[in-house]
Amino acid sequence: MKETTAFNDLLNLLEVPHTLDYANEQFHTMPFRSMFGFSKLLQRYGIDSQGVTLGDKSEVDKIAPPFLAQTGKGFIIVTAIDSEGVNYLTEGVLERMSRDEFADVWNGFVMMAFPTRRSIEPHYLSHRRTEIIGKAKQWILTLGVVALFLYLFISNHLYADWSTIALTLFNIGGIYLTYLLVQKSSGMKNRTADAVCGVLQAGGCDSVLEMKASKFFGIFGWSEVGFSYFTVSLLTLLMFPQWICYLAACNVMCLPFTFWSIWYQKFRAKVWCTLCVSVQATLWLLFFCYLGGGWLNGIFPLRIEFFVLCATYLTTLLALNKVLPHFDQKIKTPQPDEDY
């Protein structure tokens, strides 16, 4: 899912023709991260705007949503107001807060936008064509990956044994869970990750991921380690199924970590990360598949392939650790001072 911004949210609500990438680029390069900067952006799209300061915040009912409001944490798009609370959009996520909470975080300034039939993104048709081509490339890439996966799965007869079928599915599940964890660790917004994380304890994932213990040796995030593990395991299973016994050995080596993780969340952190617990459960499900399939029997003697596999895990982890900070930098770059 691509990143969205308050500017894109507003254009969606106003039903102004635009493209996601261009609108986000305009927002991120806005010279002044302020209501003034927003008004200039809207002008480029042929949208008039008006700012209003309310001395009495209870009078916000007199303003018809949607409108832009500024809080200490950034811009939000108010979509509805009733006697009990306020509905608002922030980076594409619909949320709600009480009237008192809104009054506390809101600075009293709102901006209303007035689109017309002529309101449209500059060079919209060109941007739209580029967007369609980009989506087509994504679909072709997806189809290619699926086709390659099916070819390897069938040609290597992984479908012929229940354990290899289960191993494939659980590794895919592990990749997805750790992908969500990587996004959470990098500060990326993801509705699915937020929903899953709230199952055991609201905010638990964020709390655990902010702790020093969330990094292996203070260098590698456990989310990175997990994503590397499940990705390499799946690819090895698909491409070199004769190495399953060594995959089983690596899985057994990971199991002590699951005890430490659960112990740490229970007694040290005293918060539960639903995604983390799900990853630990997936590691045990993989173990039972290796055990039930009889793949633990062929581990010894260890051959060169085992060490090649371990080296592949490490290389993938190092590569991922090298790449992720660039995404963090893009997301967490300090913004210019806000001028009201």
Angle at which helix 244-263 crosses helix 222-239, to 10 degrees, equals 160
Confidence at residue 194, expressed as pLDDT on a 0 to 100 scale: 77
Confidence at residue 2, expressed as pLDDT on a 0 to 100 scale: 65
What's phi and psi for 4, nearest 5 deg?
-125, 165
Residue 224 token pair? 């990175």
The alpha carbon dihedral of 229, 234, 239, 245 has a sign of positive
Confidence at residue 235, expressed as pLDDT on a 0 to 100 scale: 97
- The tens place of each residue's pLDDT in the chain, 340 residues long, gives 567 888 999 999 999 999 999 999 998 888 777 888 889 999 999 999 998 888 888 888 888 899 998 887 778 899 999 888 899 988 778 889 998 888 888 888 899 999 999 999 999 999 999 999 999 999 999 999 999 999 999 999 999 999 999 999 999 999 999 999 888 877 776 778 777 877 777 777 878 877 877 777 667 888 899 999 999 999 999 999 999 999 999 999 999 999 999 998 988 888 888 899 999 999 999 999 999 999 999 898 889 999 999 999 999 999 998 887 776 544 444 444 444 3
- Per the CB < 8 A criterion, the answer to whether 85 and 98 are in contact is yes
* One CATH from 3.40.50.720, 3.40.50.150, 1.20.1440.130, 1.10.1070.11 for 156-332: 1.20.1440.130
6-114, what's its fold?
Cathepsin B; Chain A (3.90.70)
Each domain of the chain, given as residue ranges in start order, spans: 6-114, 156-332
Residue 152 token pair? 């390897």
Confidence at residue 285, expressed as pLDDT on a 0 to 100 scale: 97
Quote the CA–CA distance of 317 and 321 in Å, as a whole number.
Answer: 6
How many residues are listed for the chain in this entry?
A: 340
Q: 6-114 and 156-332: same fold?
A: no
DSSP at 272: -
Quote the CA–CA distance of 307 and 309 in Å, as a whole number.
Answer: 5
> Hey, what long-range contacts does 182-187 have (CB within 8 A, 24 or more apart)?
182/221, 182/223, 182/224, 182/227, 182/324, 184/209, 184/223, 184/275, 185/209, 185/214, 185/221, 185/223, 185/224, 186/324, 186/327, 186/328, 186/331, 187/328, 187/331, 187/332
Quote the CA–CA distance of 96 and 75 in Å, as a whole number.
Answer: 14
- Per the CB < 8 A criterion, the answer to whether 49 and 38 are in contact is yes
Single pTM value for the model: 0.76
Neighbours of 180 (CB within 10 A): 24
